[in-house]
Structure 1
Amino acid sequence: MRNLVISLLTLTALAAAPVHAEEAAGAQQPKLEIGGGGRPVGEAWSRSPIFAEHGIAATAHPLASQIAIDILKKGGSAVDAAIAANAALGLMEPTGNGIGGDLFAIIWDPKTEKLYGLNGSGKSPMGTSYDQFVAQLDGRDSIPPFGPLPVTVPGTVDGWFEMHGKFGKLSMADILAPTIAYAREGHPVAPVIGYYFAGNLKRFEENLDMIGDFANARATYFANGAPKAGEIFKNPDLGNTLNQIATGGRDAFYKGDIAKTMDSYFKRIGGNLRYADFAAHSSKWVEPGCVDYRKGYELCELPPNSQGFAALQMANILKNVDLAQWPRGSAEVLHYITEAKRLAFEDVARFYADPDMSPAPLEWLLSDAYGQERFALIDPAKASPEFGPGEPKLEGEGDTTYLTVADKDGMMVSLIQSNYRGMGSGLVADGLGFMFQDRGELYSLDPNHPNVYAAGKRPFQTIIPAFMKKNGKPFMSFGLMGGGMQPQGHVQVMINMVDYGMNLQEAGDAARLNHDGGRQPTQDLTGTGADLLGTLNVEPGISAATVERLKAMGHNVKVVSNGAMFGGYQAITQDLETGVYTGATEMRKDGQAIGY
């Protein structure tokens, strides 16, 4: 029996969702004062996962999921379907992703019976040194989130072609055709995306001086204000850009007319990226790391410059305590998860960076011995005021979208893609129809930090896909978007399933915590000015009694009813005996899981 209490999600959380939807639309509606209905099976606060034999797609938009299924039915691979869905999301969910951003993926290939990792992140301008970059900050002590300074080379398109070259079946013209059609003909805006459109426009309007050129972005996305739920949205410029990519390949983007347009645009607005930066870009195939959790389950993530290994460090810490001895919504469980996150993120802030320039001691960070050492620092009765990073004991050298697709052959794709903060930098090149990412905001300015800005360097990345094995076999492709929420979200989903027996949908619907604070990879090595204790944000499904106990233990707890800060989850599992897939999607987003 599952050791689970209904306090994970209360009727308060169920009733709150429609209120937020109305707030997003700008309407004033009375509170409903009503809860949800009942269910014949499963938890009252969740819904059924879906089952399918031949394939499943789970994305943050129903139309993107449908496109992926259509590609699978045409004989495309899971990689083909994932690319098609990602392209669609760049059009339909530009509040979280697009071809102006970066991409990471984990792919299970049934032919070789191997996990493949792809790092599709871009670099800083090769012609801008650290000293030049600091001078351009004009006295700022941090990198701005908008305008040309945080823009790095977009890696998504090259990531598509790298995956397609290794695992694709259909032509890129067939894969991109549905999105090209929707871009030209239009599609209705989804409710949560409409909410984020309004929030992004507000932030852009408040920072026009920082952005500089906002005319193109306004014309592309906000010609009539923020698009609202149900409104038909078109982006013919993006359709034309995708058509060039479909016919001219990745070189159309990085070496052809699109690259020339981007070069001219950055010259015109005083940005640093040049044609040579786009022409020199390439993705990297990397080896995913995996750690044993318990009961035969392994969690797998991508190495730095992403933060994926933070989830592995958390798993290595938490496997030293039997969480199932307490109810899932108890203060004890939330306390251990929070302290494990704080410990892991201390190392993220100290070691995680572009491995080509600043290699991290990864084997040591993921060792069982180090996990035990870090676990020993947790006081079971109270929150520690401060943790520090570990010291290597070695000989020698010391908003976002997530989607997952599985096909009839057993291939599973875990893909995440983002422009970083909201829609990105606020910059749209002339006639191209997509916004550039602001990922470069995540460099440190401390010259001694591994993540310090340098010419031609990848920044620290928050976006991470995830995968789980069971007894060495492929089991689960999943992810959970949302900045620093991602590693702690991955671990919470894993705990929900492995320790508490939740099904795939319940594991994502259950109330979450999101600890915010501590040292950051963008700060100096001392973490000067950091809120070391941080804030423990929890959803209303965590009981009032648990909240009070956590406060008594020394945590700074905040109950947040808006699910926006708790990520967006999609997942697919495969039954190891029958091969039947199960799919689930995020209640906090607009998405849908579809199978056939």
Structure 2
Amino acid sequence: MRDFQLPGRSPLYVSNAICATSHPVAAKVAIDTLEAGGNAVDAAIAGAVLLGLGEPAMTGIGGDMFALVKPAGSETVIGMNASGRAPKGVSAEALRARGWSAMDPEDANSVVVPGAVRGFERLAADHGKLGLDRLLAPTIRYAEEGLRVVPRAAFDWGRGEPRMRGAMRRHYLNGDKALKEGDLFRHPGQAEVLRRIAKDGAKAFYEGEVAEDMVSSLQALGAAHALEDFAACEAVYVDPISGGYRGAELVELPPNGHGATAILMAQILGQFDLTALDPLGADRAHLEIEAAKLAYAARDQAIADPDYMTMRIEDFIAPKLAKEMAGRIDRTRAMDWPTDPIGHPHKDTIYITVVDRDRMAVSLIYSVYHDFGSCLASEKFGINFNNRAAGFNLTPGHPNEIAGGKRPLHTIIPGMLKQDGRVVMPFGVMGGAYQPHGHVRLISNILDYGMDVQAAQDAPRLFRQDGVVGIERGYAREVWTALEAMGHRTGPREVAIGGSQAIWIDHERGLLIGGTDPRKDGMAHGY
């Protein structure tokens, strides 16, 4: 039990159904959807689409989506990959000829065909009850009437405004200035697009006037996108992968996401007795940092679009590899490691999890990648373009080298945890490259230290990026000193590391326990 004399938040305990996400209105929309007869899939989609309006720095219909779904009456988890592909006309050779040595996250060539809308349609048709038209209705209304800006969204607006260009400034600013907390954000262009999708399905997004707006806008900015690229977009079901940790099973999606990195890192840490260490001490932090170095370096060598990978994913998540890597860790000294995670640990993702009265569970993540994605938008409708192609590299022959029709390595990963064959926790951790580390940190806080789902998210975080271990203020100064003595370079975090949500399913007590990250403005809501 937390100390009620200190600031903090308690977990939510309910019996019937629950949602946890990063914006309070999105949580309400999800619960309203359940009370209107929808199931967890319906609620997750309705809430997620609203998040594109409430947190446009993080996500929007110009982005990608991944989901894990546990149907009612089953413990078999279904995976959904709704990530888009690079346009057929793009080539690494052409970009290198322009002088590029790496992808430019603010160039129109960093935009992949957005896959989220196709994924929402397929999930709603196959596993929902209400139909996509009813699920989009709340966001259509808020996009027309306006949604008040919450503090965290305002913070991100201020950071993103200097990077916005062209139509993005017209559709996402207020008189060419970032919106502030309490301002009313309207997006009539998005309302119109969603209205067309509600009437005619995803084809209204991937074909016709909306697609033409996106393609012409991208082409005018020098990108290679064509109408055929949008028409060919699809969302596909995939088989989840999993690995063991402390007697539990961590369930992730296979590549092109990097959930396998979380499994590898968890299995590396599984070789050590973390329960004997202070959860906020330097020794645990050191082991985490070293395990992450190894797992992320392996990721950067191997993980890509599965059609291009040269290493079998079964070998990547095999306990044998984790044990061998754990043997390289010195408990007292930081190792030199030349490869850092790609990209940046941005806060540019939303996550929503829902469990309904029938115990259908959904873990859904939806993103435009960097803050406001590419900071570019379509001219007429103001669809915010992702910059997911920044997840590619330009190394000749690398599995993740950009190519037409290829999916990039993706940082967003939904998760689930199983115990004794049953799903006990759908969860997700936002924060770009941090996410695999965050998955492991969250489940370790619960399984190794007995924290509840709220305390596990409240606990301070650290993450090594660009050779420096960024440390949140919740750590004691002695931890910084001890890590420096071990050979780590440390520094303060400019912003908090990511965000998260989780729901614990207590099957024996018929209880749902929800928690949501204080680094965002969201909530757990249920009944």
The structure 1 segments of at least 4 consecutive aligned residues displaced by more than 4 Å after TM superposition are none
Does residue 1:287 correspond to 2:236, yes or no? no
Native 8 Å contact 1:462 1:483 kept in 2:
yes
Native 8 Å contact 1:343 1:388 kept in 2:
no
Native 8 Å contact 2:109 2:222 kept in 1:
no
Q: 1:92 maps to what in 2?
A: 54
Q: How does 1:500-511 map to 2 (within 5 A)?
A: 500-511=449-460
Distance 1:216 1:560 in 2: 32
Displacement after TM superposition at 1:559 (Å): 2.9
Distance 1:561 1:493 in 2: 22
Amino acid at match of 2:185: F
Q: 1:401 maps to what in 2?
A: 350
Amino acid at match of 2:163: R
Distance 1:400 1:360 in 2: 28
Does residue 1:340 correspond to 2:302, yes or no? no
Distance 1:303 1:96 in 2: 23
Native 8 Å contact 1:404 1:477 kept in 2:
yes
Amino acid at match of 2:401: V
Native 8 Å contact 2:109 2:224 kept in 1:
yes
Q: 2:418 maps to what in 1?
A: 469
Displacement after TM superposition at 1:65 (Å): 0.4
Distance 1:510 1:223 in 2: 36
Q: 2:208 maps to what in 1?
A: 256
**TM-score scaled by length of structure 2:** 0.96
Q: 2:461 maps to what in 1?
A: 512
Amino acid at match of 1:555: H
Does residue 1:350 correspond to 2:321, yes or no? no
Displacement after TM superposition at 1:503 (Å): 0.7
Q: How does 1:438-457 map to 2 (within 5 A)?
A: 438-457=387-406
* Structure 1 unaligned blocks of 5 or more: 7-37, 205-213, 390-398, 518-533
Does residue 1:569 correspond to 2:503, yes or no? no
Out of 106, 110, 125, the residue aligned to residue 165 of structure 1 is 125
Displacement after TM superposition at 1:384 (Å): 0.8
**TM-score scaled by length of structure 1:** 0.85
Distance 1:580 1:112 in 2: 18
Amino acid at match of 2:410: Q
**The residue matched to 2:13 in structure 1 has which SS?**
strand
Deviations 1:515-561 (A, max 9, x none): 213xxxxxxxxxxxxxxxx2111112211112111110101111336
Does residue 1:140 correspond to 2:100, yes or no? yes
Amino acid at match of 2:384: M
Does residue 1:200 correspond to 2:160, yes or no? yes
Q: 2:226 maps to what in 1?
A: 274
Q: 1:64 maps to what in 2?
A: 26
Displacement after TM superposition at 1:400 (Å): 0.9
Out of 163, 167, 190, the residue aligned to residue 150 of structure 2 is 190
**The residue matched to 2:432 in structure 1 has which SS?**
coil
Distance 1:313 1:494 in 2: 14
Pair 319,357 (structure 1): closer, same or farther in 2 beyond 3 Å: same
Distance 1:319 1:306 in 2: 22
Distance 2:184 2:404 in 1: 42
Distance 1:161 1:359 in 2: 32
**Number of aligned residue pairs:** 519
Native 8 Å contact 1:342 1:387 kept in 2:
no
Native 8 Å contact 2:53 2:147 kept in 1:
no
Displacement after TM superposition at 1:275 (Å): 0.5
Amino acid at match of 1:540: R
Out of 367, 383, 388, the residue aligned to residue 334 of structure 2 is 383
Native 8 Å contact 1:353 1:359 kept in 2:
no
Out of 537, 541, 554, the residue aligned to residue 474 of structure 2 is 541
Amino acid at match of 2:479: T
Which range moves more in the overlay, 61-70 or 263-272?
Answer: 263-272
Distance 1:387 1:201 in 2: 33
Amino acid at match of 1:147: D
Q: 1:586 maps to what in 2?
A: 517
Native 8 Å contact 1:197 1:226 kept in 2:
yes
Does residue 1:367 correspond to 2:318, yes or no? yes
Q: 2:377 maps to what in 1?
A: 428
Q: 2:166 maps to what in 1?
A: 215
Displacement after TM superposition at 1:446 (Å): 0.9
Does residue 1:246 correspond to 2:198, yes or no? yes
Pair 359,278 (structure 1): closer, same or farther in 2 beyond 3 Å: farther
Deviations 1:404-429 (A, max 9, x none): 11111111111111111110112211
Deviations 1:215-236 (A, max 9, x none): 3111111142100000111111
